[in-house]
Amino acid sequence: MALKYKVIRCVAYTIEIILLFILQELPYLMPSLLGVRPLLLIAAPMTIAILENEKIGLGFGVFAGLLMDMGYGSVIGFHAIVLGVLGFFIGLLAVNLVKTNVLTSLLCTAAAVFAVISLHFVFFYLLRGYDMASYAYQKYYLPMMLYSFLPTPILYYFNKAFVVGVRERETI
């Protein structure tokens, strides 16, 4: 019976990530703020990892990262590796060290958003030798971090309500 509800949760998370990918990639569906659009696929697997465990965090981090790689036009596997590792460690942290609540979700997702976008900046901007790196970081990458972080509470409470609802049915 527990396996059935775990499969239901994983299918729902997969649908959620695919819908967020569509929302992120359609040009006029998400409004632009300060000239940037959010990367919704960073916050989603991090909130899933906080609520589940390290294995599920790793799996959905890799899945969301592969979708980001395809949509963002970067090297296939870059975001998958980064989000997979972050999902694994955030899931491990949630299972073993911290209490799962909205504050830990906000802190972990903020760190993940900062890490992913900063690593993207380093590997795809700085190391390619583009000029005016500090200007690009301030005017493009920092607003993208903020805008990508903003939907975290919504995603956390949505996933939390879903997990609580499914786990209540699991105990019945």
Mean pLDDT to the nearest integer, 116-144:
90
Q: For the residues of 40-59, what is the DSSP string, one character each? A: HHHHHHHHHHHHS-HHHHHH
Question: What tokens were used for 61?
Answer: 């981090």
CATH number at residue 161: 1.10.1760
How many domains are there within the chain? 1
Is the four-CA dihedral 108, 139, 26, 83 of positive or negative sign?
negative
Between CA 106 and CA 150 the distance in angstroms is 10
Task: Read off the pLDDT of residues 43-79 as tens digits, 9 standing for 90 and up.
Answer: 999 999 999 989 999 999 999 999 999 987 778 999 9
Give this prediction's pTM: 0.90
Query: What is the CB neighbour count within 10 angstroms for residue 19?
Result: 12
**30 is in which domain, residue-wise?**
2-171
